[in-house]
Amino acid sequence: MAKVKVGINGYGTIGKRVAYAVTKQDDMKLVGVTKTKPDFEAYRARELGIPVYAASEEFLPRFENVGFEVAGTLNDLLNEVDIIVDATPGGMGEKNKPLYEKAGVKAIFQGGEKASVAEVSFVAQANYENALGKDYVRVVSCNTTGLTRTLSAIQDYIDYVYAVMIRRAADPNDSKRGPVNAITPSVTVPSHHGPDVQTVIPINIETSAFVVPTTLMHVHSIMVELKKPVEAKDVVDIFENTTRVLLFEKEKGFESTAQLIEFARNLHREWNNLYEIAVWKESISVRGNRLFYIQAVHQESDVVPENIDAIRAMFELADKWESIKKTNKSLGILK
């Protein structure tokens, strides 16, 4: 069967990782990516033999001025693909959607968009089936994906969830954003993250969120009020048997997010991607009818396998577990 032709609109933190992941799939073909300017990321794409398109006509001069030959513009790319992965900054996906509709291509949007932009909000292990044959799918944000991965695994036990999210201020390659020395709360409590989880799984959840001066990972402090009894060791077993979730022990030196990223660096993962959600094993505990655990989310990469699985679902290339296993194998995801 012909490979699905994939284009990436926005070759940034997520876009470049999804582009890489597509090249690792035997049932997909990367047709090209868009850039707004000829920076080192654009030159790297060209080195890799990836056709680079201008994100729109208006950006062409930037490329011409430095003699960077583009393969065309977004519209040209749209004519070449079966599906476009929109990895543009939050809110732009909605603006781009008419172009995709006009071109008659399927589209995947990221978590920065409103749920209404797509037919389904997606986390593979939670609701792969809902995306089967769909034209517009939204892969939820890194934080929502992280919450959904672990919470969907213990869904039967959940009466209520309260999660506090301690968010990294900027990505490692972003030297503009702050704060340098402050903690910034989202003063609207509960935050929007709870409802966002509910676009994927029907659980009772409320959240609050804070930004702190670090670049590596987000961290979630999760408290679950239990519908039925469970012991900590049972939850350990469940997470050990949950795909894209890994347990880490402080006792082995995983004292902070710094060592979690070092773990990914030791694996020689591309861009030190930690596709899996990292749960501190010692943090899993049950007190009365409450379960507690702490997890970390690699904001740069946890949604990458979700984008791949979403493509498969939208073209009905594979069933849920066939796709997840295929994606995991291709990216070196441990389980």
Residue 95's CB is within 10 A of a number of other CB atoms, namely: 12
**Closest to 321 (Cα-Cα) out of 332, 311, 309, 331:** 309
Q: Which of 254, 277, 301, 333 binds a copy of itself (CB under 8 A)?
A: 254
| Identity of the residue, 99 or 292, whose beta carbon is nearer to a copy of itself in the bound complex | 292
Q: Kindly tell me which of 5 and 290 has the beta carbon lying closer to a copy of itself.
A: 290
Q: Which of residues 217 and 311 has its CB atom nearest to a copy of itself in the complex?
A: 217
Q: Within 85-144, which residues bind a copy of itself (CB under 8 A)? A: none
Query: What element of type H or E holds 44?
Result: helix 40-47
Using CB atoms within 10 Å of the CB of residue 62, give its burial: 0 to 12 exposed, 13 to 18 middle, 19+ buried: middle
Rounded to a whole number of angstroms, the minimum distance from the CB of residue 308 to a copy of itself is 18
| 282 lines the binding site for a copy of itself (CB under 8 A) | yes
Question: Is 299 annotated as belonging to a binding site?
Answer: yes
Q: Using the rule CB under 8 A, is 330 a contact of a copy of itself?
A: no
Consult the annotation and say whether 10 binds a ligand.
Answer: no
| Candidate list 293, 298, 306, 311; residue touching a copy of itself; CB under 8 A | 293
Q: 239: which DSSP letter?
A: H
Region of 268 please: left (phi>0), alpha (psi -120 to 50) or beta: left
Q: What does the alpha-carbon distance between residue 137 and residue 85 come to, in Å, rounded to a whole number? A: 10
Q: To which H or E segment does residue 236 belong?
A: helix 232-240
Neighbours of 116 (CB within 10 A): 10
Q: Which is nearer to a copy of itself, 126 or 163 (CB)?
A: 163
Stretch that binds a copy of itself, among 94-102, 118-126, 147-155, 255-263 (CB under 8 A): 255-263
Question: Is 142 marked active-site?
Answer: yes
Q: How far lies 258's CA from each of 17, 18, 81, 296, 322, in Å?
A: 21, 24, 39, 11, 33
Q: Which of 23, 27, 43, 73 binds a copy of itself (CB under 8 A)?
A: 43
Instruction: Give the end-to-end CA distance of the chain in Å, rounded to a whole number.
Output: 28
Determine the Cα–Cα distance for residues 117 and 78; give it in Å rounded to an integer.
18
Residues 161-190 interacting with a copy of itself (rule: CB under 8 A): 162, 164, 166, 168-170, 172-185, 187-190
Q: Does 34 bind a copy of itself (CB under 8 A)?
A: no
**Number of residues binding to a copy of itself, judged by CB under 8 A:** 72
- Provide the minimum distance between the beta carbon of 23 and a copy of itself in the complex, in angstroms, as a whole number: 12
Of residues 259 through 278, those in contact with a copy of itself by CB under 8 A are 259, 261-263, 265-266, 268, 270-272
Residue 113: which of 135, 90, 97 has the closest Cα? 90
Catalytic position from the list 142, 224, 261, 278 = 142
**Cis amide prior to 190 (ω within 30 degrees):** yes
Q: Which residues are annotated as a binding site for NAD(+)?
A: 13-14, 112, 168, 299
Q: Which residues are annotated as a binding site for D-glyceraldehyde 3-phosphate?
A: 141-143, 193-194
Just list the catalytic residues.
Answer: 142
